[in-house]
Structure 1
Amino acid sequence: MKIFEQKQVGTEQIPLGYVHSIETFGSVDGPGIRYVLFLQGCQMRCQFCHNPDTWQQGVGTEVTAEQILTDAVQYQAFWGQQGGLTVSGGEALLQIDFLIDLFKKAKTRGIRTCLDTCGQPFTRQQPWFSRFEELMRYTDISLVDIKQINSRKHKQLTGRHNENIFAMLAYMLAHNKHIWIRHVLVPQRTDFDVDLIRLGQYIKTLAPIVDKVEVLPYHTMGVTKYTELGLDYPLGAIRPPTPTRIKNAEKLLNCAAYTNYQAYPGYLEA
């Protein structure tokens, strides 16, 4: 796994982050209103990915944690009791040293932190695992995108197996690390009742730490990016799921049963 560059500040080595983009008023990437940092780099090749421009590692805008936090606190007045900082991707865990530095410094400023991840880089091999454990100490909540419960289909869909992803979730359960689970509903790829039922059963095993479950309907808004990058779009003529199939998935995943997020300070029903 690539170790990203560091910047010398006095006698201290400061990890650099590689940023794809920033959203200063995010409302869908964790509790409340959030400053959302999208990092560059992802090893998965999800067929439904709408941001193929985030795949390449080691490119993007170089930043330090202090630069991001200096910018983020300008919007702190909008965060209320729930909002804060979310780091997404690409895959945020590919830049774990930068994440640790950012989240650690954010917590010293009283900023609530959220990690948005698919979990693919997770491993118990050292030294990565120790860094992950440190990151979790500074992470208030994680958004975990489960692509496919079936390992064979997951490999076909993303180019990677999913066993280590479930190992990460087992760690989070064992250490009471609260999560939101997201599942992208894609016709002919993830929208199968047999898989949704199995995923719903699996989520029940994580119930003590699951505050929310969301079904994210597949969309085609990223198709133009493939054209701009000279890439073939993997899903061809597949259209977004119908409202009926979305409701079916929400029922099979028991989304209505996971409402702990409503007890967060300052929560208001939309």
Structure 2
Amino acid sequence: MSNHFVQFHANSCNYRIDLMLTSQRKSLILDLLRRDGQVVAKHIAEDFSLSEDTIRRDLREMAAEGLLKRVHGGAMPVAPELPDFSTRKGVSSEIKERLGKKAASLVRSGQLIFLDGGTTTAEIARQLPREFAFTVATHSPTIAAELEHHPTASVILIGGQLYKHSMVSVGSVAMAAISQLRPDIFFLGVTAAHPVQGLSTGDFEEAAIKRHISSCAAATYVPLTEEKLDRVSPCLILPIAGVSGLIVTADSAATAIEPYRNLTAEILEA
């Protein structure tokens, strides 16, 4: 066997080992992202006994593959896309129906509930009880319209500046009106949930008004489709510990839900 062949064979083995190690590193980086909500290139390099350049290259490649979002010095989980309201209507409709039924089952006679904007909360509106009276407050004209023919629900519509992407009122006028209410339950809509980074959305003003509604409510519950788990959007609403419960589907992956079970929020399965 020639020395040239031996050298080529050795290089091929090393190449395959390098590929495996790169794959292992990337898998570990994703595990860290799910656990911590962020990774710092310098810290990973120290933990793996590798150069920062190697880790930064891994992060660049993973960002190009859509696995994470590069930030200065490291990476964050991928922020979910924010399609417009009409596009979101047809997404996961069967799942949202199950979440809506579970959420609606929490409502009791005589309560004041507050429904956030969004397609999942629209499903809650459709599933609300019809055998007893209660009041629904909302800052979303589309949610109010869902209740046009509901036989027992009184509706309070909060006005203000319309944030068209989510079809909700935001700003000081909406804030002032909401301050006069004390809802028994607030059903909060979010675009992302992470056990460390909390509940978040894509707009600063929308995050502020969601946080304000929650502060006025006795209890806050968050319906979550599985694709929102372990994601982080730019604007924090609340930590997970800041809400009463998360509503998820019973068939959501156990590994995806497990980190949330260790927090103070109740986990309700639909």
Normalised TM-score (structure 2): 0.33
Structure with higher Rg: it is 2
By percentage of residues, which structure has more helix?
A: 2
TM-score between both structures, scaled by the size of structure 1: 0.33
